[in-house]
Amino acid sequence: MSSVSITLRVNGRSYEVQTEPHRTLLDVVREDLRLTGAKEGCSTGECGACSMIVNGRLITSCLMLAPEANGADIVTIEGLAQDGQLHPLQQAFIDHGAVQCGFCIPAMILAGKALLDVNPHPTEAEIRRAIAGNLCRCTGYAKIVEAIAAVAEAP
Amino acid sequence: MRRFDYYAPGSLSEALSILQERGNGCRLLAGGTDLLVQMREAGLHASCLVSLRRLAELRSIDFDEGTGLRIGAGTDMATIEAHPVVHERYRALFEAASLIGSVQTRNMATIGGNICNAAPSADSAPPLIALDAVAEIESPGGRRELAVGDLFTGPGATALGPNEILVALRLPVPPPHAGSVYQRHTPRQEMDIAVVGVGVALTLRPDGQIIQEVRVGLGAVAPTPIRAREAEDALRGQSPSEELFARAAELAVAASRPISDVRGSAAFRQELVRVMTRRCLGIALERARAS
């Protein structure tokens, strides 16, 4: 079967993409849309580095075929800063020294955002559970949790 | 991933006719969290994927005081976890749905996929067996029903034919004085696979003194999820006690046929069945008393 035509709305902008159906949403966003914030780590949904928010829910884009996202509203890390202002979570990650090598961070911030969007004042346990699907191999989890908690506590 | 033909039918009948036309080599795609991993890592080659994404009829949860709970097979775990009736009255299923994978997994993985992939460790299987769930299966010839416990035929294998689609799971209304629980043992709390999983649903007689009905589902201790029928028989009609639960736990151990693998030895798994069955019976009893 030949390629399929899909429409994606990514960070508020609409894209028409032709893709072969075996390519993932991650492939299309990185290679066709050139938004490389989402990373390919394990390719099997375990590391979470490819996480995006699709129709309001955090998913691993390495396990979503691109045509499965047809018509979806997608947020990647590139969509968080507004008018040159970092998103409060991005700023908090910097302020708390939560970023080491950086590979896991775009998805980690999106996992934090997905949590705070539905639960603005989570407990530490809820924060840890919300990022359980995101591995950081620098193992800077304590500072990542602190950064998310700081945004959650802000008035 | 190797190339495949991709279909996203807009109706169940269309999906069924694609399955019939394309025959073997066709796989149904639901959440993708198992299937795509198998295609990438385990050498599964599907020549054709039929996506269930557009079938809204597979994604409903309905509860009726007369007929019970009906969960569309395409419902994701996060939706099941968040459903108030599941949380209150089908506690074992709530507990399984909230344990599976990560936030991302639960947002994608479906209950139908968890059942149809038929891993012996599938977390939704022991609670569905314990809660007496029935699978609704559709084919071009019509609809049939099968107890979830009878759906599994081996590791990764089910009784579903190549032209059949699991459309929904139906769970009866829990009677008064009933409680259920699912627990699993894993080295990590999140993103792990059950070394052993135990689901129990227990109903007391109205006087609260005698076990009227009980069902015990076990995961990861046999080629398929299983029911510990001998343990159930020993419990039914008896007055609950620690000795009784210990005896039932021994019968659950006898029903299990675990293997030794990277997650644990057969002996360790049997010890877990002993401890966890006893523990889950105690929790289900407490919940039945409180209900």
CA–CA distance, B107 with B199 (Å, rounded to integer): 23
What pTM did the predictor assign?
0.96
pLDDT digits (tens, 9 = 90+) for A73-125: 999 999 999 999 999 999 999 999 999 999 999 999 999 999 999 999 999 99
For chain B, the structural domain boundaries read 5-50, 58-171, 178-290
Interchain contact B33–A (C-beta under 8 A): yes
Mutate to test the interface with A, among B1, B79, B102 (most CBs of A within 10 A): B102
B45 at the A interface (CB within 8 A)? no
Task: Give the CATH fold of the A4-79 domain.
Answer: Ubiquitin-like (UB roll) (3.10.20)
Contact A63 B36 (CB under 8 A): yes
- Rounded to the nearest angstrom, the minimum Cα separation between B54 and chain A is 9
Top residue of B59, B103, B110, B191 to mutate, by most chain A CBs within 10 Å, is B103
Which class in CATH covers the domain with range A88-153?
A: mainly alpha
Q: Give the model's pLDDT for residue B1.
A: 82
Phi, psi of B72 (to 5 degrees): -60, 140
Q: Can you give the pLDDT of all 291 residues of chain B as single tens digits?
A: 889 999 999 999 999 999 999 988 899 999 999 999 999 998 899 999 999 999 999 999 999 999 999 999 999 999 999 999 999 999 999 999 999 999 999 999 999 999 999 999 999 999 999 999 999 999 999 999 999 999 999 999 999 999 999 999 999 999 999 999 999 999 988 889 999 999 999 999 999 999 999 999 999 999 999 999 999 999 999 999 999 999 999 999 999 999 999 999 999 999 999 999 999 999 999 999 998
B1 CB neighbours in chain A (<8 A) are 22
Q: Do domains A4-79 and A88-153 have the same CATH topology?
A: no
- The whole-angstrom distance between B195's CA and the closest CA on chain A is 18
CB contact under 8 A, B4 and A22: yes
- Chain A within 8 Å of B5 (Cβ-Cβ)? yes
Whether domain B58-171 has CATH 3.10.270.10: no
For B191-243, write each residue's pLDDT tens digit: 899 999 999 999 999 999 999 999 999 999 999 999 999 999 999 999 999 99
Q: Indicate left, alpha or beta for B127 from its phi (over 0: left) and psi (-120 to 50: alpha).
A: alpha
Domain borders along chain A are 4-79, 88-153
Q: Rg for chain B (alpha carbons), in Å? A: 19
Cα distance between residue A75 and residue A53, in whole Å? 5
- Check pLDDT > 70 for residue A155: no
User: Chain A: nearest CA to B64, how far in angstroms?
Assistant: 28
pLDDT at residue A65 in the model: 98
pLDDT of residue B44: 92
CB-based contact A133 B49, cutoff 8 Å: no
On chain A, the residues whose CB falls within 8 A of the CB of B101 are 45, 133
Report the CATH number of the B5-50 domain: 3.30.43
Let me know: does B151 contact B135? Beta carbons within 8 Å: yes
Q: Tell me the CA distances in angstroms from B95 to B99, B181, B246, one per residue in order.
A: 6, 7, 23
Architecture of the B178-290 domain: 2-Layer Sandwich (3.30)
